[in-house]
Amino acid sequence: MLRRLLAAGLFIAAGTLVEAVAETYDYIVVGSGPGGAPLAANLARAGYSVTLLEAGLDLGDNKNYSEIYNFIEAGNDEKSRWDFFVKHSEDEAREAKYEKTTWRTADGSFYVGLDPPEGSTRLGIYYPRAATLGGCAMHNGGICTLPNDADWDYIAEITDDDGWLASNMRKYFEKMEANEYLPPNTPGHGYDGYVNTTISDPSFMKQDSDFQKVASQLISHTGGDAGRDVNAADPDRDQATGVFGMASHADRNGKRAGTNTLLKKTLADPAKFNLTVQLETLVTRIIFNWEAGEPSATGVEVLRGSHQYEADPSYDAAKQGKSGRIFARKEVIIAGGSFNSPQILKLSGIGPAKELEKFHIPVVKDLGGVGENLGDNYEAGLQALASKPLNGSTGPFTVFLKTPTARKTRNIQAWCGSFSFEGFWPGFPAEYGPSQYECAIVHINPRSQAGYVRLRSNDPRQMPEINLNFFAEGGDEDLTELLDAVKTFRTALKSVDAPITPFNERHPCPGVNQSCTDEAQKEFIKLQSYSHHATSSCAIGPADDPMAVLDSKFRVHGVKNLRVVDASAFPKVPGAFPVCPTFMLAEKASADILAALAKAE
């Protein structure tokens, strides 16, 4: 009976399985985000039995998650939150200056700031992740921008795999996209995929409103228009600057599209694909056997139950879930994200030998790059208050810049509008009233990827130690580029006519008449930058690179039947927003796996 239920693709809640029956599938996929969800669906649709393991619940029908404009509510919702806390450097004096530092007070609540109540414990810099069916694609802002072509071409170059060339990767975007803002058959776009894409309505530019006046000055200083296609198949796209429409992975009604919706559609398909989704199932370790002296992944160990991971706000160390094992005939595929994928590998004996031995974990494969090379986009912003409440209506729009010291391609993507976004902390964001205006800045291709994810213990329920090591390499160059972007936006805002102006800047140089030095502004940006696009902790690279974890087909070096397919696989941070590149990565992994199966048959 159990096997028939599994074959029917039903959701399995924690604690309902009969332990005496060994679960076996062709593929185990761990994690349901933009890496794992498409891959699991594609393999099931190709005729293979697949189980998808997710530590959280399905919240796809909850409006906090299903409606893209509720992303603030989703990011603060305890039903899905995993509260990670990170560091930005090894310098404790520098860390102590981060204005949104989070503390645990003596009564168990959070305090955010630099003057905590007596008896508080410093937690660090808040970095929420989403434990729910669909992963972080269910709580993000939904911005869908393709990276520079050079980001794809770089992977092809270091691996000698032309499948990674941008000219080839475009087809995966076309496969996944269901475009709703361009005429049918526009080259380079897809219309039948599972990721609906829309842009903010550009018609506000025809209105006589304060927002139109501000946007007009931004266009005057940078070029473009609010309806321009940000993902155009244009050979000069990566040099194009100015205003664009902001594309989101949502339909025209504001409904999120991608991970959760694809899985639900696959499960409900009359073809009855052999996909099983298991919720509240925390993977604790990969199971191996040894063939000809080489480890081969055969399954995973799990804990079944709610709130099993320490990052969960409702975690209780005394309430451990029920242990279980699940086996794979073909492969185990890890898609837990840039924090949890390296943690799972290390707990399973794959990682830097010295670190594993420190925690008495038997070494299966000594791979020094597991958990290293962690990168992220630097995020900052120019925030100011107009001299009057701003009227009109508009969604945010995107601005690309190529600052004077940029390398080969544009290096800044920003989004501007009447909002406040200054990073993450419990209860974020702060609101400053109807006169607030911000251009939030994302730095493309940061020079430093010196961060790490390291174990604190061999307990799979405990969060790892995470340090992003911001600006550790090329810091002054990156800070110069961020400051140059700020200056561009500041000049545009100052050009807006009264009575909207003068703007009273909140940061990085407070006041109406800026007199801050460049050094002071760069210091503010360095201390207060934030991020939420972690990548590269299980990086793709050639076998002779001691820091490479995966080959060009996502296979873990030196381990059979084990892959990692999520944002941790990127050797460098892809563009400004990694969610749609990760969907593309999942499509490539699907194609690679199915092609190998077809060849073997």
43 close to 347: Cβ distance less than 8 angstroms: no
Q: State how beta strands 397-401 and 242-244 pair.
A: antiparallel
Q: Could you give the 3-state DSSP secondary structure of residue 545?
A: coil
List the structure tokens of 258: 């991608």
Helix intervals (H) in 18-87: 36-45, 63-66, 71-75
205 close to 243: Cβ distance less than 8 angstroms: no
Q: Could you give the 3-state DSSP secondary structure of residue 95?
A: helix
Q: Measured between alpha carbons, how far is residue 316 from residues 24, 102, 457, 461 in Å?
A: 30, 20, 17, 10
End-to-end CA gap in the chain: 31
Comparing C-alpha atoms, which of 236, 282, 328 is closest to residue 54?
A: 282
139 close to 128: Cβ distance less than 8 angstroms: yes
Name the residue type at position 111: Y
H/E segment holding residue 12: none
Q: Could you give the 3-state DSSP secondary structure of residue 371?
A: coil
Residue 283 assigned to a binding site: yes
Rounded Cα gap, residues 514 and 399, in angstroms: 23
H/E segment holding residue 67: none
Rounded Cα gap, residues 566 and 337, in angstroms: 6
List the structure tokens of 162: 């032309």
Q: What are phi and psi of 205, to 5 degrees?
A: -70, -15
Comparing C-alpha atoms, which of 423, 424, 467, 468 is closest to residue 441?
A: 423
Rounded Cα gap, residues 507 and 526, in angstroms: 13
Count how many Cα atoms sit within 13 Å of the Cα of residue 73 in the half-sphere of its side chain.
10
538 close to 545: Cβ distance less than 8 angstroms: no
Apex 338 CA angle, 279 and 470, nearest 5: 145
Locus of tokens 């006519």: 497
Q: Could you give the 3-state DSSP secondary structure of residue 162?
A: helix
Rounded Cα gap, residues 496 and 511, in angstroms: 16
Length of the chain counted residue by residue: 601
Q: What is the DSSP letter of 503?
A: P
Helix intervals (H) in 57-204: 63-66, 71-75, 92-95, 149-159, 166-176
Locus of tokens 């071409």: 153
Q: Could you give the 3-state DSSP secondary structure of residue 548?
A: coil
580 close to 168: Cβ distance less than 8 angstroms: no
Q: Which residues are annotated as a binding site for FAD?
A: 283
Binding residues: 283
